Amino acid sequence: MFWLEIAYLIGSLSFILGLKMLSNPDTAKRGNLYAGIGMGIAILGTILLHHNSEGQSIGNISWILLAMAVGTVIGYLLAMKVKMTAMPQMVSLFNGMGGACAAIISIVEYHGHHSQDFWLILVIYLGLVIGSISFAGSMVAYGKLDDRIKDIRANWLRILNLVILAVIVILVVMGVTDPGNSMFMWATLILALVYGVFFVMPIGGADMPVVISLLNSFTGMAAAFGGFLYSNQVMLTGGILVGSAGTILTILMCTAMNRSLLSVLVGSFGGGGTSGPRELGEQSVREIQGTDAAILCAYARRVAIIPGYGLAVAQAQHICHEFERILEEKGVEVYYAIHPVAGRMPGHMNVLLAEADVPYPKLLEMEEANDLMPQTDVAIIIGANDVVNPAAETDPGSPIYGMPIIQVTKADNVIVMKRSMGKGYAGIENELFFAPKTRMLFGDAKQSLSNLVSELKQI
């Protein structure tokens, strides 16, 4: 068992080191590799060195290796084929699989030798509840992110969610006090799955990054409970790291969205006021041509680029980096203003721009970018919508009221790149499009940026 403990220690340390390295784009790839190697060592150590209380080694190794091979092939193919726009769906899918595993472990262990121990049965129930919620919620999040499931916005869902949570707590208490009655376990499983669905169903649009982060923390906690069950340091360390990191990120996301954590748990997203968003009426927008936009940027002192989901859809991150590079060759200072929930998951824009080798110091967080906006000559919005909508600050009836935004209206000029006048993920009009400083550059973002690059090279 000594060498098995050493393998687990190496795996745990690799997780901690890998997570630390993930905080910097320059070391993130190596950090991910180190964590993966540590996990591999822990798995091999378990297969080769683990023995039960009777001294027997693990059996069914051929089946275990076959399952690992199948999972590896499927995971590799999915990860290699996924587009950047579908990365949030992939994260939700993989996260849901982790929750399902934790729930299955709880079911198996319930029927094992732990079922009569008070503390272990409590851990089993907690793993079952959290894993089931994570699985069901992640599957619904996947469907919504992939536009296969629509929102259900109803006030009765908040009350229903609270009632279901209360019943789940009661069932857990009854199940722990009467561990021999499996009816409580199966009822808890069913209700936890139902709650996972109802928890995510009313959540829409701009709030989805918070949900992904929260469900990720759920899966981490469920994995940590599995570590308690098996006295497995690697599962415990990995689960705690994922759970704590996900929780911290959830709190940061809630702050960025101006939502309370309680409102997340009961699915009470959106709707800062009761009067409903005000109608913008028949207003006209001002368009700008590529040539004029290029001239405006070329003779600016400072340009801000605000990326959004539209940049990912157009796969325009590489041409955007070239646009930034050409401007800097002309003496223009360029920075990227990154909203915490731009895109469809936390860090979506950071990953997208890192893929195009955009230097990390150029990616400014919202607060820092807002401080620079009054000294910015041109703010270029590429595919972002809700995160720059002034209604978040001016309209108490707007669903996004109170959400901190990137304050592009403080810049001298605003250029919005969009395919059309379509609404954002929150489903509301953006009054920024009609502002006096704003000019609309319609078209595919990648094509528009390509035209700007061509124009800039001739100036």
Cα–Cα dist 338/388, whole Å: 11
Give CATH superfamily name and number for 290-458.
TPP-binding domain (3.40.50.1220)
Calculate the alpha carbon distances from 415 to 162, 245, 259, 306, 429 in Å. Answer: 44, 36, 29, 10, 17
Q: Which residues are designated catalytic?
A: 386
Task: Report the SS3 class of residue 379.
Answer: strand
Phi, psi for residue 196 in degrees, rounded to 5 = -60, -35
DSSP for residue 55? S
- Which parts of the chain have pLDDT scores under 50? 268-277
Q: Tokens 């990390």 map to which residue?
A: 360
Question: pLDDT at position 282, please?
Answer: 59
Question: pLDDT at position 269, please?
Answer: 43
One-character DSSP codes across 341-374:
T-SSSTTHHHHHHHHTT--GGGEEEHHHHHHHGG
Amino acid identity, position 454? S
HSE of 139, CA atoms in CB hemisphere, 13 A: 15
Closest C-alpha among 110, 285, 102, 92 to residue 185: 110
CB atoms within 10 A of CB 77: 10
Dump pLDDT digits (tens) for 150-164. 777 677 887 888 899
Question: pLDDT at position 270, please?
Answer: 42
Cα–Cα dist 31/242, whole Å: 15
What are the boundaries of each domain within the chain? 1-81, 85-270, 290-458
Amino acid identity, position 191? L
Strand-pairing partners, residue 299, are: none
